[in-house]
Amino acid sequence: MMKLPALRILVVDDDDDIRQSLNNYLADRGHDVTLADSAERAVDLLQAHPIDVVITDVRMSAMDGFELLAHIQKTDPSIDVVVVTAFGDVESAVRAMREGAFDFFAKPFKVQDISAALQRTARFQQLRRDIERYRTRLQLVIDAGRQTSGIDALIGSSQAMEQVRSQIRQVARAPSTTVLILGETGTGKELVAQAVHYASDRADAPFVAVDCSAIPATLMESQFFGHERGAFTDAQQARPGYFEQADGGTLFLDEIGDMSLDLQSRLLRTLETRQVRRVGAEQTVPVDVRVVAATHRDLAECVRQGLFREDLYYRVESFVIQVPSLRARCEDIHSLAEHFVHRYARELRKPVQELSLAAIERLQSHDFPGNVRELRNIIERSVILCEQSVVDENHLSLQSKPATIASGEAEDGLSLDAAEQRVIRRALEQAAGHRGEAARLLGISRDALRRRLQRLGMDDAS
């Protein structure tokens, strides 16, 4: 028999022999026992002492065991009540369980009956404590997510960022409205999407982020909509897609401009019907999801080129948030840089505390083609290099940006793809053909650069 943890037990019975018998048995096993000769006395003791379990007789003068049970249920339902009934009084036992008693045993009882009842009570109380502890931890995680991914995570006091915050608050009150976030690569579009989610009534539900440019075309349908077991060769078991995973919450579609036309059609249908059909399934599944999309592309131009469906374009642009580039909010560079200094000093356990004035001035004079992502990478590297409390300008590694259309070097009438090819070639030239370095200069990942090279027919570029 398992060893019982010590419990604080209140024994309520108007029979002195039964009270003393239970007291001796329970106290010998390490329990803290309090005795009451009436239900009225028990009510007073419950107010004065912390109690885990009440063992009470049913038939007592004046206030009976059922009334005591009702009082406990009303005042402190965390206290478990074990009811003692007369032998053969099945009706009282059933009534006690219906009214909230945890367990019961019949008179005349054996000590084994009491041990069994207390074992069940102890297990249940431990389970209840575990659930409460996990619930507390989960709430802490949710609260931390709101703090690090909500509106407060958007650093900067510039007018441009205040406008973004205002738009987030407005659209958060419309939890079904599709949101389109526009902005250059590295501006923090996913942070804005998270802020929309955590500011809305969907905050406690999942936030599922998907990079549309990172999913192979052959897997897109099953990844987004799920599949049934046996739907295709490798489908060993059924799997919910992104829409089902995000049910009740938010689905963030990053780089939606890179989505294939076939998938765009299914996405539009899902947005309209709010239902998905897994690959290989006959029935549809209802989903309640807010879609937040983001792209650095000019979707209107993509529509004109036949790369993006016009009907989907008008569907996702219900509410547009334009995230400003870092060079459009230079006044935020200082606060952002300080934020990253403190973050990486803590993560890397370095003594770094601040940036020198010269370092700040140098950062503010930089153009930041890679936007906030580029600034973050620069600060991370500087904290690694710095062995003192202040990051100086000699710790900063600032690269001149690759040529872009905005630099004035593009020709009139240059197509979007041609302009992208030109920028990528410049970056590769500046990086001496090293794709990782070229991706860093462009403010994108190496995989994203590889996909763009393939799409533009530049996979052999050097």
Nearest in space to 352 (alpha carbons), one of 396, 384, 376, 378: 384
Give pLDDT, residue 412: 45
Domain boundary among 291, 322, 353: 322
Together in a domain, 158 and 278:
yes
Concatenate the DSSP letters of all residues of 310-376 into one string.
HHHHHHHTTEEEEPPPGGGGGGGHHHHHHHHHHHHHHHHT----EE-HHHHHHHHTS--TTHHHHHH
Domain membership of residue 141 (yes or no) is no
C-alpha 376/C-alpha 456 separation (Å) is 29
Concatenate the DSSP letters of all residues of 381-443 into one string.
HHHHH--SSEE-GGG---PPPPP-GGGTTSPTT--HHHHHHHHHHHHHHHTTT-HHHHHHHHT
Domain membership of residue 72 (yes or no) is yes
Tokens of 427: 């970056």
Domain membership of residue 391 (yes or no) is yes
125 pLDDT higher than 70 = yes
Domain of residue 359 covers: 326-395
Give pLDDT, residue 3: 57
Q: Which residue has the higher pLDDT, 333 or 146?
A: 333
Query: Maximum CA pair distance of the chain?
Result: 103
Together in a domain, 314 and 335:
no
Q: The domain that contains 337 carries what CATH number?
A: 1.10.8.60
Give pLDDT, residue 245: 93
Q: How many CB atoms lie within 10 A of CB 300?
A: 12
Together in a domain, 293 and 207:
yes
Q: The domain that contains 411 carries what CATH number?
A: 1.10.10
Render pLDDT for 406-425 as a digit per residue (tens, 0 to 9): 444 444 444 566 777 778 88
Q: How many CB atoms lie within 10 A of CB 87?
A: 8
Give pLDDT, residue 403: 44
Render pLDDT for 168-221 as a digit per residue (tens, 0 to 9): 999 999 989 999 999 999 999 999 999 999 999 999 899 999 998 888 777 888
Domain membership of residue 204 (yes or no) is yes
Give pLDDT, residue 88: 62
Give pLDDT, residue 415: 58
Averaged confidence pLDDT in the chain? 84
C-alpha 189/C-alpha 324 separation (Å) is 10
C-alpha 64/C-alpha 68 separation (Å) is 6
Domain membership of residue 244 (yes or no) is yes
Together in a domain, 209 and 312:
yes
Give pLDDT, residue 1: 45
Together in a domain, 42 and 92:
yes
Domain membership of residue 81 (yes or no) is yes
Q: How many domains does the chain have?
A: 4
- Classified as helix, coil or strand, 170 is helix
Give pLDDT, residue 279: 86
Together in a domain, 221 and 304:
yes
Together in a domain, 186 and 315:
yes
Kindly indicate the confidence band of residue 355, based on its pLDDT and cuts at 50, 70 and 90: very high
Give pLDDT, residue 410: 42
Give pLDDT, residue 92: 78
Together in a domain, 187 and 261:
yes
Q: Which residue has the higher pLDDT, 412 or 234?
A: 234
Together in a domain, 22 and 123:
yes
**What is the arithmetic mean of pLDDT over 65-91?**
84
Together in a domain, 306 and 177:
yes
**Tokens 């872009």 belong to residue:** 404
Together in a domain, 12 and 86:
yes
Domain boundary among 298, 322, 346: 322
Tokens of 435: 């794709």
Together in a domain, 25 and 116:
yes
